[in-house]
Amino acid sequence: MKRLFLILLIVSAGSVFAQFENTDVGARQIALNGAFTSLSDNSLAIFYNPAGLGQMKDREFSLFYSPAPFQLTDMSYATLTYAEPTKFGIFGAAIKTYGFELYKENNFIVSYGNNYKNRIFYGINLNLYNLKIQDYGSATAFGLDVGAMAYIAKYIQWGFFGKNITGSKIGESDEKIAQVYRSGFTYQPLDYLRIITEIEKDIKYPVSVRGGIEYNVIDFLDLRTGVGSQPSTFSAGVGINYNIFTFDYALTKHEDLGYTHLGSVTVNFGGIKGKKSSREQLRKTFE
């Protein structure tokens, strides 16, 4: 019970997350401080903007795990995502789990993304939320997310994401599952450099501003950094690309809770050549 009390105490202070709060997943995305709405170019787009799936050309899955956020093992969380391009569009699926034996959240997502002339992108998520609290039972709810993206200039991409637009609630609670709106821009003046800015509004919290930079040093190495407000956070990370595998690492610092280390493994069947093609897509769209 002491462990559960500790978790709920931290949550009530607004420092971290519970009850399906909006949280960043993926080491690459966290290294960018979550500024990924207008980029969303891999299978983790499911959590940031399902419209981004419409950019994908190759089958991909990704595993992310945070074993001890802020040195608290009871708050571990993990995700598994999968994307499958077809002639009818790109279909995706994801699982996110958070918590421990006394308090457990599971989020199952089915996604779809597509595009119009490789310039306008759209997507949707169908969520199933399941919450289980020991000695109190479990509850299930459904919710919808929507996303949109567009290349608005030769070097600029815009994105929008609406999470839980249905305002779904879990069990008998009067409090909604996190309802969040994000919008931002990716500026890509060079194939190997991306500058990302966005704003986020969770209906329960003040507006948050985020920004990130991703620099592709060579085909095998990416460097990233990001900052955010509400709360103030700083992040950095590295991505190593080898054949069809990508290994991402992120370090993030919370103003109150300190540092956290995170990691992801992604398998993209297009390999490095597929990733490079994705980087060049924005410019080619306007040629």
Mean pLDDT value across residues 9-25: 58
Q: How big is the chain by its Cα radius of gyration, in Å?
A: 18
Average pLDDT estimate for 84-113? 94
Cα separation, 88 vs 109, in Å, equals 19
Looking at residue 191, what is its pLDDT? 85
pLDDT at 273 > cutoff 80: no
**Is residue 66 very low, low, confident or very high in pLDDT (cuts 50, 70, 90)?**
confident
Dump pLDDT digits (tens) for 134-184. 888 889 999 999 999 999 988 899 999 999 999 999 877 777 899 999 999
CA dist 225 and 236 (Å) reads: 4
Q: pLDDT tens, 200-212?
A: 999 988 999 999 9
Neighbours of 237 (CB within 10 A): 27
The secondary structure of residue 165, as a DSSP letter, is T
The token duo for 60 is: 């991909």
Q: Which residues pair with 113 in a beta bridge?
A: 90, 123
Element (H, E) at 46: helix 45-48
| Res 282 pLDDT > 60 | no
Distance between CA 252 and CA 166 in Å, rounded? Answer: 31
* Residue 19: per-residue pLDDT: 62
Q: What pLDDT score was predicted for residue 5?
A: 46
| Domain harbouring 160, CATH code | 2.40.160.60
pLDDT in tens, 39-65: 999 999 999 999 999 999 999 999 999
The span from the CA of 14 to the CA of 16, in Å, is 6
Total domains in the fold of the chain? 1
Q: How many residues does the chain have?
A: 287
Please give the residue range of the domain that contains residue 265: 2-285
Amino acid 2: pLDDT: 44
DSSP assignment letter at 58? S
> Tokens representing 65?
């795990």
Greater model confidence, 255 or 220: 220
pLDDT of residue 15: 39
- Quote the mean pLDDT of the chain: 87
Average confidence (pLDDT) over 24-30 = 95
In the chain, pLDDT over 70 holds for what percent of residues? 85
Q: Which helix (H) or strand (E) holds 98?
A: strand 89-99
219/197: higher pLDDT:
197
Give the residue with greater pLDDT, 101 vs 228: 228
Tell me the mean pLDDT in the region 96-116: 93
Q: Which structure tokens are listed for 213?
A: 């930079």
12 contacts: CB under 8 Å, gap ≥ 6 = none
- Determine if the pTM surpasses 0.85: yes
Q: Is the pLDDT of residue 9 over 50?
A: no
22-45 as b/e, with b when 16 or more CB fall inside 10 Å?
Answer: bbbbbbbbbbbbbbbbbbbbbbbb
Residue 210 CA, chain-centre distance (Å), reads 13
